[in-house]
Chain A
Amino acid sequence: MPSDDKRWKIVDATARRHGREPHALIETLHTVQESFGYLDETALRFVAATLRVPLSRVYGAATFYHFFTLKPQGKHTCVVCTGTACYIKGAPALLGAIERQYGIKPGQTTPDGELSVVTARCLGSCGLAPAAVMDGTVLGKIGPADMLARIQKGMHP
Chain B
Amino acid sequence: MTIEELRKIAQSEREAQNKFPHHVCVCMAAGCQSSGAAEVRDALLKEVAESGMRNEVQVKGVGCMGLCSAGPLVAVESEGKMYANVTADEAPEIIRNLDTGGDGLKELSAEDPFFKRQQKIVLENSGVIDPERIEDYIAHEGYFALVHAITELTPLEVIQQILKSGLRGRGGAGYPTGLKWSTVAKTGEQKKYVVCNADEGDPGAFMDRAVLESDPHRVLEGMAIGAYAVGAQKGYVYVRAEYPLAVKNLKTAIRQAERLGLLGNDIAGSGFSFHVDIRLGAGAFVCGEETALMASIEGKRGTPRPRPPYPAQEGLWGCPTLINNVETFANVAPILRHGPEWFAASGTEKSKGTKVFALAGQVTNTGLIEVPMGITLREIIHEIGGGIPEGRKFKAVQTGGPSGGCIPDEHLDSPVDYESLARVGSIMGSGGMIVMDETSCMVDVAKYFTDFCRSESCGKCVPCRAGTEQMYGLLEKITAGKGSEADLTMLQELCDLIRNTSLCGLGQCSPNGVLTTLRYFRKEYEAHIAGEPCGTCRPEKEAEL
* Interface residues, chain A, with chain B CB atoms under 8 Å away: 21-27, 29-30, 51, 53, 57, 60-61, 64-68, 82-85, 87-89, 120-129, 131, 138-140
For the complex, give the distance between the alpha carbons of A66 and B199 in Å. Answer: 14
For the complex, give the distance between the alpha carbons of A83 and B243 in Å. Answer: 15
- When A84-B432, A84-B434 are in contact, do A29 and B282 touch as well, CB less than 8 Å? yes
B34 within 8 A of A: yes
Interface pair A140/B302, CB less than 8 Å apart: no
Interface positions of B from 504 to 522, Cβ below 8 Å from A: none
Interface pair A67/B362, CB less than 8 Å apart: no
- When A65-B282, A84-B398, A123-B242 are in contact, do A26 and B299 touch as well, CB less than 8 Å? yes
For the complex, give the distance between the alpha carbons of A22 and B206 in Å. Answer: 31
Other-chain contact of B69, A30, A51, A127 (Cβ < 8 Å):
A127
Across the interface, which residues of A come within 8 angstroms of B297, CB to CB?
23
Across the interface, which residues of A come within 8 angstroms of B243, CB to CB?
124
In the complex, how many angstroms separate the beta carbon of B464 from the nearest chain A beta carbon?
A: 15
For the complex, give the distance between the alpha carbons of A68 and B204 in Å. Answer: 22
Chain A: CB-nearest residue to B243? A124
Interface pair A85/B284, CB less than 8 Å apart: no
* A-B pairs with lowest CB-CB distance, top 8: A127-B68, A83-B203, A65-B282, A67-B283, A138-B34, A126-B360, A25-B299, A124-B206
Other-chain contact of B302, A22, A64, A123, A128 (Cβ < 8 Å):
A64
B361 within 8 A of A: yes
Interface positions of B from 277 to 311, Cβ below 8 Å from A: 279-285, 296-302
Interface pair A131/B34, CB less than 8 Å apart: yes
B161 within 8 A of A: no
B483 within 8 A of A: no
Given contacts A67-B283, A126-B361, could you give 14 more A-B pairs where the C-beta distance is less than 8 Å? A22-B298, A23-B298, A51-B299, A64-B284, A64-B301, A67-B282, A68-B282, A88-B440, A121-B285, A121-B452, A124-B209, A124-B243, A126-B68, A127-B366
Mask: chain B, 53-89; 1 = CB below 8 Å from A; 0 = not: 0000000000000011101000000000000000000
Interface pair A84/B401, CB less than 8 Å apart: yes
Other-chain contact of A84, B31, B33, B361 (Cβ < 8 Å):
B361
Interface positions of B from 69 to 121, Cβ below 8 Å from A: 69, 71
For the complex, give the distance between the alpha carbons of A121 and B453 in Å. Answer: 11
In the complex, how many angstroms separate the beta carbon of A54 from the nearest chain B beta carbon?
A: 12
Interface pair A65/B436, CB less than 8 Å apart: no
Interface pair A126/B366, CB less than 8 Å apart: yes
Across the interface, which residues of B come within 8 angstroms of A87, CB to CB?
203, 448
Interface pair B302/A65, CB less than 8 Å apart: yes
For the complex, give the distance between the alpha carbons of A104 and B279 in Å. Answer: 33
Across the interface, which residues of B come within 8 angstroms of A129, CB to CB?
360-361, 366
Interface pair A125/B296, CB less than 8 Å apart: no
For the complex, give the distance between the alpha carbons of A139 and B67 in Å. Answer: 18
Mask: chain B, 346-386; 1 = CB below 8 Å from A; 0 = not: 00000000000010111000111000000000000000000
For the complex, give the distance between the alpha carbons of A70 and B198 in Å. Answer: 26
